[in-house]
Amino acid sequence: MKNHILSAFLLTLCCIVFFYVIYTAVVWSIAQLAPNHGKGEIIAYQNSTSHYGFANVGQSFTNDKYFWSRPSAVNYNAAGSAGSNKGPSNPDYLAQVQARIDTFLVHNPTVSKEHIPAELVTASGSGLDPHLSPQAANIQIARIAKVRHIHEKVLAELVETHTESPLLGPSYINVLKLNIALDQLK
């Protein structure tokens, strides 16, 4: 029995050293190679500290003159990253999605229900997704063009310019960067 206790103690000690010290140091070192040293991409807007955002954390945009973000299950609170944990058959969840669909259709009357991308009415797993697909951005162009009195072609070019295509995976658009560029249009 002494051998088992000693082995268990040594294994525990090795795991603590590896996971608490070595693994943490490796992850921290890799983060130092990233832009902004792993602290996220901070975007200053209009040279003001009161107008800024984190490019890697979703933001709430619900004004008709902006591209809307993906809904958040945690009200865009980065300290509480989480999904809703409600299944697709949960009546509360279905009611919430239907309310989002209804709201979207009221603000975008030229869009039919079957053309609304799911990402515009459902929250992501983290509740903080800062990106939309080009399809989700393009479907909002008519509303924004009408409110801002901008030609739809100009907005389509803006969406195209801000579409990022990774090496692997689908194309995406950072909503905060797109909305800042939208405000900067003359």
Read off the pLDDT of residues 159-172 as tens digits, 9 standing for 90 and up.
Answer: 999 999 988 999 99
Give pLDDT < 70 ranges for the chain.
44-52, 186
CA distances, 173 to each of 60, 68, 153 (Å): 15, 12, 17
pTM: 0.76
Read off the pLDDT of residues 171-183 as tens digits, 9 standing for 90 and up.
Answer: 999 999 999 899 8
Phi, psi of 182 (to 5 degrees): -65, -40
Phi, psi of 103 (to 5 degrees): -60, -45
- Asked if residue 140 lies in contact with residue 94, where contact means CB atoms within 8 angstroms, the answer is no
Locate 159 and state its tokens.
């969406």
